[in-house]
Amino acid sequence: MAQFFAYITYKDGVADDAALELVSAAKKLSADSVIAIVTGSGSKLDTVCNNMTASYKEVWKIDNAALAYPNAEAVRKALVNVLPAGSIVLIPHETFGIDLGPGLSIKMDSAYVSDAVDFEGMAGTTIKIIRQEFGGQVSTHVTCDTSKGAVITVRPGVFQPDESKSAGGKVVDKSGSAGDLSVSRKYLELVAAQVGDVDITKSDVLVSIGRGIEDVENIEIANQLAKAMGADVSCSRPIVDAKWLEKSRQVGTSGQTVKPKVYMAMGISGSFQHVGGIKGNPFIVAVNKNPKAPIFQVADIGIVANILEFMPVLTEKITGA
């Protein structure tokens, strides 16, 4: 059987939640053993490697100054040199995994499947995987021929983290095999996201608007409702892309992570990148004209309606009450 690997992403010496989710993901594929692979440099790398031995029997460490910042090009080169041919590599599907995974699969000459949300097992060398298309509106089964290995990115948050921490594993230093890590894309710096007028991460109640708002002029309707409720207005990404609201109001993986008590999703379809920014298990009310919109799967209360008609009525009932 092919050897499974889980690529561990981390920040400031702390592994991302995905690190333990990948343990569960690999178990679902009945992998005999999965080896964690961690790249970086210095003491933070060591901290992560040591912590991972609780969850993985074997942790491969690749320490190199060129990996101090996780530059996907350098990481790819290191992995290609270190991983045995035919390996099955699991990587979290976030901005780093998107940068690393496709090219890695080409250089490993293996198959690539992105954004797996579930596994339905392995028969011979074929893995059956569940994915989603059209922003989560439909799901698909895909088969992946892993006879020459595979790179699979796994959606964060869909597998339960394996908290058993009973692996009692060991760190194996593979730094010597990393090879030449020179890059043609040189990392310069991080530019922090802009701070806006309202800090939606502190709001208790959010009236959040999506593409269903249809026109910049309709935002006033949401403002009115928010005012009546004592809420702040947040939004999905397309509203920011259209420059209708500031980036600091965007909820989601590439925006803010909010923790309100009540979240009103108005004309938002419910893509995982959007829902990924809603934490703390709030009471979610979704209003959408499509009864099959994925947002209804995560909402507590659903209303099938045109938000442009529904919001003014709700505002009126609140202020009149």
Partner 1 sequence: MEILVCIKRVPDTAENEITVNKTGSDIERDDLVYSVNEWDNYAVEEAIQIIDKAGGNVTVVTVGEDDSEEVLRREMAMGANNGLLLKDDAFKGSDGKGVAAILTAAVKKGKYDLIFTGAQADAGGAEVGGMLAAMLDVPYASLVNKIEILNDKTLKVGREIEGGNQEMSEISMPCVLSIQTGINEPRYVGIRGIRKVASVEIPVMSASDLGVAAGAVGDAGAKVKRVDYFVPALGEGAEMLEGSTEEIAIKLIELLKAKGGLK
Which residues within the stretch 203-242 sit at the binding site for ligand FAD (CB under 6 A)? 210-212, 214, 236-238
Our finding on whether 288 is near ligand FAD (CB under 6 A) is yes
Helix or strand run (H / E) with residue 179:
none
Q: Select the binding partner of residue 231 from partner 1, ligand FAD, none (C-beta < 5 to 8 A, by kind).
A: partner 1
Angle between helices 307-320 and 219-229 (to 10 degrees): 30
Span 142-201, contacts to ligand FAD by CB under 6 A? none
Among partner 1, ligand FAD, none, partner that 261 touches (CB below 5 to 8 angstroms by kind): partner 1
- Please pick, from the candidates 149, 169, 252, 302, the single residue that binds ligand FAD as defined by CB under 6 A: 252
Of 30, 165, 187, 216, which lies in the binding site for partner 1, with binding defined by CB under 8 A?
187
Residues in the chain: 321
Token pair for 243? 């420059």
Side chain identity, residue 194: Q
Q: Which does 210 bind (CB under 5 to 8 A by kind): partner 1, ligand FAD, none?
A: ligand FAD
DSSP state of 219: H
Interface with partner 1 includes 188 (CB under 8 A)? yes
**Which residues ranging from 195 to 214 are in contact with partner 1 (CB under 8 A)?**
204-205, 211
Largest CA distance in the chain: 72
Q: Does 14 bind partner 1 (CB under 8 A)?
A: no
Distance CA 130, CA 200 (A): 34
CA dist., res. 170 & res. 56, Å (int): 8
CB of 183 to partner 1, least distance (A): 8
Q: Does 267 participate in binding ligand FAD (rule CB under 6 A)?
A: yes
Work out whether 303 is an interface residue with partner 1 (CB under 8 A).
yes
Site for ligand FAD in 69-108 (CB under 6 A): 95
- Show Cβ contacts of residue 240 under 8 Å, excluding neighbours closer than 6 positions: 246, 247, 249, 250, 255
CA atoms within 13 A on the CB side of 117: 11
Answer yes or no: are the C-beta atoms of 21 and 36 closer than 8 Å: no
Among 35-43, 49-57, 167-175, 309-317, which window interacts with partner 1 (CB under 8 A)?
309-317
- Write down the least CB distance from residue 93 to ligand FAD, Å: 9
Q: How far apart are the first and last CA of the chain?
A: 66
Is 221 within 8 Å of 279 (Cβ atoms)?
A: no
- Residues in contact with ligand FAD by the rule CB under 6 A: 95, 135, 210-212, 214, 236-238, 250-255, 267-269, 271, 273-274, 277, 288-290, 293, 306-308
